[in-house]
Amino acid sequence: MIANQEEKLRLYAQLLVHVGMNVQPKQRVYIRTTIDAAEFVHLVVEEAYKAGSEDVKVIYGDDRLAQLNLQYRPQEAFESVPQYIVDERMDYAKSGAAQLALISSSPENLKEADPNKVSAMMRANGNAFREYMKMMQSDQFPWTVAAYPSKAWAKLVFPELTEEEAVDKLLDLMLYTVRANEEDPVKAWEEHNHNLHIKADYLNKKAYKALKYSAPGTDLTIGLPEGHIWCGASSVSAEGIEFMANMPTEEVFTVPHQDQVNGTVKNSLPLSYGGNIIDNFTLTFKDGKVIEYHAEVGHDILKGLLESDGNAVQLGEVALVPHDSPISNSQTLFYNTLFDENASCHLALGSAYPFCLEGGKEMSDAELDAAGLNQSITHEDFMIGNAEMNISGITADGNKEPIFVNGNWAF
């Protein structure tokens, strides 16, 4: 590894600690990743301790062990999660610990696994960590999702390269997307954060009642709940700590009204879910719910996602990302939602973020439901944007105003 890349990795670790999680003195830190990222995690842990953390916990997974477990363990073994695993994560969450999910697994790691076992596993995790997800989606603690390449992931993205070359190239791209190659990465993030908030502020002043999407294969209208809030880039935790939930991020997003989605939408990029790829799929909505669906690739996996609970067939997020953006312009398909969603406008099946509604963080489940926010054990983004996407905002009096024209911001 060249010295320049070593320095970029050190800067990346610093960004995750100081911009992503924004670790405070004496704050606990909880990191989830796989053994593929172990060497880089050492840098992150060191930076967290330097920032003043007194307890940095790292939970490692192993992709090969995950494959073996799904191959040999019986179906019933995946229908629950041991309570001690839940208790440990909740202990850190309830203490306000900064949380980092560092993605490294190949998007096709479980491609050969029994889809019924995968669905059971995803459903069990959703149920077991329901309270944790609710805390996270209400910003009760600072959290960040980021990535580091595994060999298998890199070869999926760059199959024509050797394993070593593929890892180096994917890592360089990742560092580029998180602005670790900038002369002052922290300042670059401050400017990026400011620019995204300008877009969100504009949309918040407009207070559109609905959005109209038009693109090849897509003709969709999404109602927005009264009091919805557009957000972008940084968030603020319950203790007032500013953090960056996704690194990279290029999106401005809000919540849809769970009962006011009608029409058909077609994906524009593959979706990685449960270690499998879902692609070339369409979803048709009526009164907020998916009533028809089809996928040329991963149909059974899509079926499992939609059946993960009763509300997985409804939307929980609406996100706007210009086609002319760094990740999109890299012309690289990452096969990973963290990156691909920041190259494309996207929607999410499942739960909504309460912080995207006025007073939402303090609302009960019943109050959120009455306000039109979907609640589910899942939250899965899928990409729909492209260079032909047009989006209009519908005002309270029924007028249409352009938000996106040919895939990019109209203002």
Half-sphere CA count of 88, side-chain side, radius 13 A: 12
Nearest-angstrom CA–CA distance, 110 and 328 = 26
Question: What percent of the chain is predicted at pLDDT more than 90?
Answer: 96
Per the CB < 8 A criterion, the answer to whether 53 and 27 are in contact is yes
**pLDDT for residue 2:** 41
Per the CB < 8 A criterion, the answer to whether 261 and 221 are in contact is yes
Q: What is the pLDDT of residues 237-252, one digit of tens each?
A: 999 999 999 999 999 9
Interstrand relation of 271-273 and 231-232 (parallel, antiparallel or unpaired):
unpaired
Q: What is the pLDDT of residues 308-337, one digit of tens each?
A: 999 999 999 999 999 998 899 999 999 999
Nearest-angstrom CA–CA distance, 276 and 297 = 10
**Residues whose CB falls within 8 Å of the CB of residue 322, separated by 6 or more in sequence, listed in order:** 250, 328, 404, 407, 408, 409
Interstrand relation of 28-34 and 55-61 (parallel, antiparallel or unpaired):
parallel
**pLDDT for residue 134:** 93
Nearest-angstrom CA–CA distance, 363 and 50 = 37
Q: Which two tokens stand for residue 378?
A: 């899942």
Per the CB < 8 A criterion, the answer to whether 19 and 182 are in contact is no
Q: What is the pLDDT of residues 44-61, one digit of tens each?
A: 999 999 999 999 999 999
* Rounded average pLDDT over 274-279: 94
Mutual angle of helices 130-137 and 83-94, in 10-degree steps: 20
Mean pLDDT of the chain: 96
Q: Which two tokens stand for residue 359?
A: 């007073």
Q: Which of 4, 7, 102, 124 is nearest to 45 (CA)?
A: 102
pTM of the predicted structure, to 2 decimals: 0.88
* Rounded average pLDDT over 227-233: 96
When pLDDT is cut at 50, 70 and 90, the band that residue 1 belongs to is very low
Nearest-angstrom CA–CA distance, 325 and 110 = 30
User: Which letter does DSSP use for residue 77 in this model?
Assistant: G
**pLDDT for residue 224:** 98
Half-sphere CA count of 323, side-chain side, radius 13 A: 16
**pLDDT for residue 77:** 97
Radius of gyration (Cα) for the chain, nearest Å? Answer: 20
How far CA 115 is from CA of 55, 100, 126, 275, in Å, comes to 38, 28, 16, 10
User: Which letter does DSSP use for residue 411 in this model?
Assistant: -
**pLDDT for residue 183:** 86
A 10 A CB-CB count for 359 gives: 12
| Residue 25: cis peptide before it, omega within 30 degrees of 0 | no
**Sign of torsion over alpha carbons 335, 340, 341, 346:** negative
- Token match 């067939």: residue? 313
Q: What is the pLDDT of residues 147-158, one digit of tens each?
A: 999 999 999 999
Nearest-angstrom CA–CA distance, 379 and 381 = 7
**pLDDT > 90? residue 344:** yes
End-to-end CA distance of the chain: 43
Burial 372-383 (b: 16+ CB within 10 A, else e): bbbbbbbbbbbb
Q: What is the pLDDT of residues 61-118, one digit of tens each?
A: 999 999 999 999 999 999 999 999 999 999 999 999 999 999 999 999 999 999 999 9
**Residues whose CB falls within 8 Å of the CB of residue 17, separated by 6 or more in sequence, listed in order:** 23, 44, 47, 48, 51
Q: What is the pLDDT of residues 175-192, one digit of tens each?
A: 999 999 888 999 999 999
User: Which letter does DSSP use for residue 109 in this model?
Assistant: T
Diameter of the chain by CA atoms?
A: 59
Q: Which of 275, 310, 278, 276 is nearest to 294 (CA)?
A: 278
Nearest-angstrom CA–CA distance, 43 and 372 = 43
